[in-house]
Amino acid sequence: MTGTEAPRPAIVVEHLSKRYGRMLALDDVSLSVGANDMFALLGPNGAGKTTLIHILCTILAPDGGSASVAGFDVKKQAVKARRNIGVVFQEPSLDDRLTAYENLNFHGLVYQVGGAERKQRITEMLELVELSDWRDKLVRTFSSGMKRRLEIARALLHNPRILFLDEPTVGLDAQSRERIWAYLDQLRRQRELCIVVTTHYIEEVENCDRVCIIDHGKILADGTPDALKAAHGSELVRVTPRDKAAAEAIRERYPDAKDGHGGTLVLAVDDVNFIDGFLASFGTRVSQVSLDRPSLESVFLSLTGRELRDKGADEQDRMRAAGRRAGRR
């Protein structure tokens, strides 16, 4: 490659489609991701994020179109593609009967990492995720956040060019989520690595290089966070009606009002006098009013007509986490 040539994208997807029976999970999806990008797939549960990741990781075969990772076709050159990717799945995949070291060592053996290099890489990865002191402890004694960090270390052990993280912070507390993202930022500073993350936590992707919004298997928008806000964002007023009658009256006056979290209504600000006019009419009939500046949340609402987080998503996350803990007892 000469100095004038652009680097080859880490991921290229062209007209990808995938069905589960009658349900179209991916609908003519095309995108490319740069070699050193932090790329986020943003969408609610069931949007098609995990299906796309599974195809790129060679777990699923597409029904139509093509995809390549690190220059290798995911169908025709699946083995070579797998050697260039690391994956952290949404569901835990560690063997909790083994120690941290044994989990990493087994992964290195599977990827045929040589003995001396494997030991060095294990030491480096445990240090990266601050688990060196837990090297010889059984994984079943780890917290959920520690297990996620170990999974990231394992995914990086064979020195992949692309790291896929499918909902890596689901079920984790806020502090653990923040630490996971700190490790990812550190990785970006240390090495050239393409990171692709799926999430429905919208605040987690503000610092990504690019954000791709996907819903119902279709890409709705793709760009930098700032570009998406400029093109699709808007100021929103979030109000909490005091009762059902107030909510119905607000909907009648503002038919474009959207359902928000916790019984709120979300209204788009269409002129500078909007809030004054709203408060004059409904100030005594709402218990709370807040103004949201243009954000990725407002971008998603503008493109899909609904907020990103499903009303029961947080509770579903907690139930899934509790179920996993119960299953291990």
Lowest mean pLDDT among 13-22, 106-115, 177-186: 177-186
Asked if 138 and 284 sit in the same domain, the reply is no
Mean pLDDT score across all residues of the chain: 88
Asked if 44 and 190 sit in the same domain, the reply is yes
Q: Give the burial class of 108: count Cβ atoms within 10 A of its Cβ; 0-12 exposed, 13-18 middle, 19 or more buried.
A: buried
From 206, 229, 252, the end of a domain falls on: 229
Please answer whether residues 233 and 302 qualify as being in contact, where contact means their C-beta atoms are separated by less than 8 angstroms.
yes
Question: In which band, very low, low, confident or very high, does the pLDDT at 203 lie, cut at 50, 70 and 90?
Answer: confident
Residue 107 lies in a domain: yes
Asked if 30 and 177 sit in the same domain, the reply is yes
Q: Any alpha helices (H) in the chain, and if so which ranges?
A: 49-56, 78-83, 100-110, 115-128, 144-156, 174-190, 225-232, 244-253, 274-282, 296-304, 313-327
From 229, 249, 276, the end of a domain falls on: 229
Question: How much of the chain is in helix, strand and coil states, percent to nearest 5?
Answer: 40, 25, 35
Please answer whether residues 219 and 28 qualify as being in contact, where contact means their C-beta atoms are separated by less than 8 angstroms.
no
Q: Any alpha helices (H) in 18-84, and if so which ranges?
A: 49-56, 78-83
Coil/strand/helix, residue 72: strand
Angle at 50 between CA 46 and CA 55, to 5 degrees: 130
Number of domains in the chain: 2
Answer whether residue 321 shows pLDDT above 90.
no
Asked if 217 and 253 sit in the same domain, the reply is no
Domain of 282, CATH number, reads 3.30.70
Its pTM stands at 0.79
Percent of the chain residues topping a pLDDT of 70: 92
Residue 322 lies in a domain: no
Domain of 203, CATH number, reads 3.40.50.300
Range of the domain at 105: 11-229
| 40, containing H or E segment | strand 38-42
Q: Please compute the mean of the pLDDT values over residues 178-182 and round it to a whole number.
A: 85
Asked if 185 and 243 sit in the same domain, the reply is no
Asked if 125 and 260 sit in the same domain, the reply is no
pLDDT at 325: 41
Choose the most confident range, by mean pLDDT, from 94-108, 174-188, 198-212: 94-108
Find the distance separating the first CA and the last CA of the chain, reported in whole Å: 55
Please answer whether residues 58 and 83 qualify as being in contact, where contact means their C-beta atoms are separated by less than 8 angstroms.
no
